């Protein structure tokens, strides 16, 4: 469902599109077989490849902090650019992008609304319990289990503080999860939601990872597919890029996304393809 802001209230209408929401699953909630760094991998080891950058992450970090003084909360690397989340000396969060080849700052964005402020806005429009939150392109996306016992995705613009979309599902995530497990028995590692479809990563009893897609409106399974590289193999590939501790992992059809707290005390985001085992 899409919620449009009208006189400060959200009006619910049929969704025409949705943004991908990766629901991160903390490693502490996984089975011990997958939370352990020392698990033996019996199949082909995942390989990893990263495009060489002229500026190291440490150099890019120094450049970012010169432009926005504060504390680096996390960092990711994509499309030849480092993106730093910095909690500034003004007590606000900023996203700073540094080109890895030129060393130039290509974007500095200050968020007008903090996560807690945006969450308050979301809950005013959709009462319930916040289960997870994501941030992309200046928009917070909250997964809220509503008082109506349904799941809702509420998008709040980080600059205006306005609700720009409310998307509701006919089935709750728990109900869809049960359907997925009936079709592919095993342990759910992570899940994502987009365009009225839940995608679950399930480690099956065959010791392989599978992604299962279920329509949130009809409850029908629309895809079951085994992936070539398991989450554990992808995890090892990610840790080859940044040594440290994996704090969370999410899964979409295109990639495993790991958040790693590095030995440099900075959070890193690493994406690994489930089909090639390479950084993507």
Whether 39 is covered by a domain: the verdict is no
Q: Mind listing the pLDDT tens digit for each residue in 135-163?
A: 667 788 888 989 887 888 899 998 899 99
pLDDT band at 53 (very low <50, low <70, confident <90, very high): low
Q: Mind listing the pLDDT tens digit for each residue in 212-256?
A: 999 988 999 999 888 888 888 999 999 999 999 998 887 776 788
Q: Mind listing the pLDDT tens digit for each residue in 65-108?
A: 999 999 887 777 777 788 787 888 888 888 899 998 899 999 99
Q: How many CB atoms lie within 10 A of CB 178?
A: 13
Q: Which domain holds residue 121?
A: 115-168
174 and 161: one domain? no
- Whether 18 shows a pLDDT value over 60: the answer reads no
pLDDT recorded at residue 185:
92
* Backbone φ and ψ of 62, nearest 5°: -60, -40
| pLDDT > 90: percent of the chain | 26
Residues in Cβ contact with 31 at an 8 Å cutoff, skipping those fewer than 6 apart: 187, 203
CATH of residue 107: 3.10.450.40
The reported pTM is 0.47
- Whether 46 shows a pLDDT value over 50: the answer reads no
Last residue of a domain, one of 73, 95, 111: 111
């Amino acid at each position: 469902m899409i919620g449009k802001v009208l006189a400060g209230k959200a009006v619910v209408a049929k969704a025409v599109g949705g943004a991908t929401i990766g629901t991160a699953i903390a490693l502490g909630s996984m089975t011990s077989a997958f939370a352990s760094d020392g698990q033996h991998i019996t199949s082909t080891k995942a390989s990893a490849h990263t495009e060489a950058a002229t500026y190291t992450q440490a150099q890019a970090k120094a450049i970012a902090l010169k432009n926005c003084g504060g504390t680096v909360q996390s960092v990711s690397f994509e499309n030849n650019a480092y993106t730093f989340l910095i909690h500034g000396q003004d007590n606000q969060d900023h996203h700073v992008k540094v080109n890895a080849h030129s060393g130039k700052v290509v974007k500095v964005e200050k968020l007008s609304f903090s996560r807690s402020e945006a969450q308050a806005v979301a809950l005013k429009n959709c009462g319930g319990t916040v289960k997870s939150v994501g941030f992309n392109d200046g928009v917070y996306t909250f997964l809220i289990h509503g008082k109506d016992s349904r799941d809702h995705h509420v998008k709040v613009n980080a600059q205006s503080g306005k609700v720009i979309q409310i998307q509701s599902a006919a089935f709750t995530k728990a109900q869809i999860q049960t359907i997925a497990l009936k079709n592919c028995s095993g342990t759910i590692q992570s899940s994502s939601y987009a365009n009225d479809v839940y995608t679950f990563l399930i480690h099956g009893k065959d010791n392989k990872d599978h992604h299962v897609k279920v329509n949130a409106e009809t409850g029908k399974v629309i895809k079951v597919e085994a992936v070539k590289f398991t989450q554990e193999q992808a995890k090892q590939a990610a840790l080859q890029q940044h040594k440290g501790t994996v704090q969370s992992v999410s899964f979409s059809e295109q990639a495993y996304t790991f958040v790693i707290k590095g030995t440099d005390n900075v959070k890193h985001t690493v994406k690994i393809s489930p089909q090639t085992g390479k950084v993507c």
